[in-house]
């Protein structure tokens, strides 16, 4: 059996990451890793663009807008390492887990 890893297990400077969140809605945010140490990673939020939608823009898929130079303010998070496969994530309080982006469009919906 062959295993293919589509994304790195560790945060890397310049890497695009994502966070899916929302209690009654499926929201998605994208981030770029700006720097890291052994235990801490710094991110800046990246704007997103709607890739496909339902005709109203309330549901569909999103991608990070990598052509935009706009970025949010830099913030840091503690790196959490999975005991099973060694993959790294970062937790955003009350929102979700920041993890490496797969490179594929991410589903969202704003129906409440």
Residue 23: inside a domain, yes or no?
yes
Residue 63: inside a domain, yes or no?
yes
Provide the residue range defining the domain that includes 30: 16-109
Residue 74: inside a domain, yes or no?
yes
Half-sphere exposure of 29 (CA within 13 A, CB side): 15
Both tokens of residue 30?
Answer: 């994208």
One digit per residue, pLDDT tens: the chain, 112 residues? 544 445 667 899 999 999 999 888 999 999 999 999 999 999 999 999 999 999 888 999 999 999 999 999 999 999 999 998 888 999 988 889 999 998 999 999 998 7
Angle, CA 92 vertex, CA 87 and CA 96 arms, to 5°? 75
Q: Note the pLDDT of residue 79.
A: 96
Residue 10: inside a domain, yes or no?
no
Gyration radius of the chain over CA positions:
15
Angle, CA 61 vertex, CA 101 and CA 20 arms, to 5°? 50
pTM over cut 0.85: yes
Q: Note the pLDDT of residue 108.
A: 94
User: Into how many domains does the chain fold?
Assistant: 1
Residue 4: inside a domain, yes or no?
no
**23 in helix, strand or coil?**
coil
């Amino acid at each position: 059996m062959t295993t293919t890893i589509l994304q790195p297990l560790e945060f890397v400077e310049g890497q695009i990451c994502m966070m899916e969140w929302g209690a009654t809605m499926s929201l998605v945010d994208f981030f770029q890793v700006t720097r890291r140490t052994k235990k801490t990673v710094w991110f800046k939020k990246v704007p997103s663009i709607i890739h496909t939608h339902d005709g109203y823009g309330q549901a569909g898929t999103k991608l990070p807008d990598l052509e935009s130079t706009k970025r949010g303010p830099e913030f840091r998070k503690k790196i959490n390492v999975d005991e099973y496969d060694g993959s790294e994530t970062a937790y955003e309080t009350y929102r979700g887990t920041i993890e490496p982006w797969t490179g594929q469009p991410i589903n969202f919906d704003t129906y409440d």
